[in-house]
Amino acid sequence: MIDRPTALPARAHFSSGPCAKRPGWAASDLATESLGRSHRSKLGKARLKLAIDLTREILDVPSTHRIGIVPASDTGAYEMAMWSLLGARPVTMMAWESFGEGWVTDAVKQLKLDADVVTAPYGELPDLTRIDQSRDICFTWNGTTSGVRVPNGDWIRDDREGLNLVDATSAVFAQPIPWDKVDVLTYSWQKVLGGEGGHGVLILGPRAVERLESYVPAWPLPKIFRLTAKGKLIEGIFSGETINTPSMLAVEDYIDALTWAQHLGGMSELTARADGNATALNAWVDRTPWIENLAKEPATRSNTSVCLTLPGTSEEQVKAMVSLLEKEGAAYDIGAYRDAPPGLRIWCGATVDTTDIIALTHWLEWAHAQATA
């Protein structure tokens, strides 16, 4: 029997969303001047604009791309893009995990598009080189529920005719984004930066703006999806004039996380932290016989949402491990996503410390021994 570890992770927050707050986070550090003020006041708009400007700086978003804060998390941002942009030309929907499958459902059953659906099993990617880029393409950059990511943007042609709509919610702030390959990108800040839920970010490249100003969808658009007025982009959305009332507390928390990332050193350091966490966890997986990476190919393994399977362990035993680890205060919320194969999902994004990942591995060994005894 394996002895119970004595050292707990300093922060047992390994959930894949909402994710761990930044190291040293405290609510008392948040600016509060905007709270109780209108988001349309001079102060409110300035704070929203600061969030946008810091986003551009940290993510190295070029000046050609517009950044807007929108309602309803990454889901709202991606739905807004789909409902506003799709239908102008044929579309290919790609899915290799549950969120991608959700976008397929929306395109086919809600928008009733005659979409070409390309899928791959959990843990794998389809052959990206065979994707027809005369069509619009919708895909997730990093599969939050499968642990599989697109390794790079090399497969995306510079002379593509269609638009790329990218759900990058668990990729941004941890994986480099080739902005010249991206027409639309969405994410929610409760993922890699550990912000509070409820808001999404929509980033539009010039080709997406051109589509918005030249195409009117065949279906009615709800108010919170409308990005144009009188055939022109509503520019205010991309300078801090949100479509509906945002939580200024959540905005201040996002600014706090962005400021931490800025002081840390920006994208290179954020990526290095996520890579270091995933490397430490994967090294343990490689030397542990009862656990495996769900992602088959090392080049496509996520450095944020690391998904693991336990081939010789029953689903009930895995659930017992998860429950035991939470009871001990060693790991919170690490069960696999409900639609994914049974297993564990451990967040390795930039707000997690590698020392906590290493401490967690000892607890995983102990919990597995307990659950399978």
* 247-281 burial code (b ≥16 CB/10 A, e <16): ebbbbbbbbbbbbbbeebeebeebbebbbbbbebb
Domain assignments of the chain as residue spans, ordered by start: 29-262, 266-372
**pLDDT, tens digit, 9 for 90 and up, residues 135-190:** 999 999 999 999 999 999 999 999 999 999 999 999 999 999 999 999 999 999 99
If one looks up domain 29-262 in CATH, what number appears?
Answer: 3.40.640.10
What CA–CA distance (Å, rounded) separates 237 from 228? Answer: 10
**pLDDT, tens digit, 9 for 90 and up, residues 234-292:** 999 999 999 999 999 999 999 999 999 999 999 999 999 999 999 999 999 999 999 99
Q: Is the pTM of this model over 0.95?
A: yes
Alpha helices by DSSP H, listed for the chain, are 42-59, 73-85, 98-105, 206-214, 248-264, 267-286, 315-328, 354-372
- pLDDT over 90 (residue 361): yes
* 105-123 burial code (b ≥16 CB/10 A, e <16): ebbeeebebebeebebebb
Type of residue numbered 322: V
If one looks up domain 266-372 in CATH, what number appears?
Answer: 3.90.1150.10
Count of beta carbons in the 10 Å neighbourhood of residue 197: 16
- Three-state secondary structure call for residue 302: coil
pLDDT band at 313 (very low <50, low <70, confident <90, very high): very high
Residue 192 near residue 172 (C-beta atoms within 8 A)? yes
pLDDT in the model for residue 1: 78
